[in-house]
Amino acid sequence: MKKKSLSAKKIIHRNFNFKKILKDKKIFEIYKSFEINLKNHKNSDKIAVSVSGGPDSLALCFLFACYKFKKNKKIQPSFFLIDHGLRNNSQKEAISVKKILKSKKLDLKILKWKGKKPTSNLQNLARKKRYELLFKECEKLNIRVILTGHHQDDMYETFFSRLLRGSGTEGLSSFAEIEKHFNFKNKKFKVVRPLHNLTKQDLIHISNSAFKFYVKDPSNESDRFQRVRIRKLILNLKKEGLDFKKLNLTINNLAATNMALNEIVKYNINKNAIYLSRKKYLINSEFFIKPEEVIFRSLSQLIKKIGQNEYPPRGKKMINLIRDLKTKQHIKVTLGGTIIEKIHNSVIVSKEKTKNTKFATI
């Protein structure tokens, strides 16, 4: 019994045998796709990898280790796992992931979500907290690039989720982008999704081959969460003949349309919004003589920038504001940490100084 345990220990502490694993034709093809996605985006030598313990993030760890081994030995990776503390055994799972990565010479740091947990809107709030903890840790280490394990199946689920919410081209296509930019405490972070064109099954294959291990999250089977219900809906649609190639084409077409709209929005802001200071813009009447979607995005961007928020205000509030700005001679309201004031044909958007205000709040 003791001999068997010692033998197992030796196997565990052996590093990745990259050459052997990459001889698997399927894994090698997946790696090449990953390599292209990573090479197309200039990254710094200090990179963080977000780990959950699921097959997608463990596959990401392996593929990134391959990339460092083959292409860039100077990269200094940092691996982080967020223990949300939402399940009784979450700490035990996190320690198991740490041990399995350590056996492959990958050092994982566990970050804990402390304090009282929400009882509603759980997945959305957990996501926000996850990014907050990652950004805080990366800020300490001067890391500005974070890799996540989001994959093709995630993109489909997000597409249908946003379709149900009535999102426009931006919401329906934004997840198709490999990288996203975030501002956190006046610092810019780039979140890269190098697995965006790989399937869940691809990543399970890699995780099983490289680690023979991954964490199964029971919430992924609970109909309590909309994402799980959408996942099951997609499976049913697949049985009914849903063509994923055509779905990809639709998402890519929406992404192209979104890029074109963003250029028009950029032109509208540059031409019709005068920069007065870091906390104030003056908007002329030409700004509002544009298609509704262009006005909506242009004003949302200004409010997001001046209010220094991660996300723009909600759609309904923005629609009401634009309607009032078009029809009323004088209004003064607060929205998204800004004061929006219309006097005759001009609109001033400025940073809200205090939380307590006598102005109307939308």
User: Which residues are CB-contacts of 231 (< 8 A; sequence separation ≥ 6)?
Assistant: 153, 157, 220
CATH of domain 272-361: 3.30.465
pTM listed for this prediction? 0.81
What does the pLDDT profile of the chain (362 residues) look like in tens digits? 333 333 333 333 356 888 888 888 999 999 999 999 987 666 678 999 999 999 999 999 999 999 998 887 788 899 999 998 888 888 999 999 999 999 999 999 999 998 887 777 777 888 889 999 999 999 999 999 999 999 999 999 999 998 988 888 888 888 888 888 888 887 889 999 999 999 999 999 999 999 999 998 777 778 888 888 999 999 899 888 889 889 999 999 999 999 999 999 999 999 999 998 878 999 999 999 999 999 999 999 999 989 887 778 878 899 999 999 999 989 999 999 999 999 888 999 999 876 544 445 45
| Domain extent listing, the chain | 10-242, 272-361
Token pair recorded at residue 321: 């504001």
Architecture in CATH for domain 10-242: 3-Layer(aba) Sandwich (3.40)
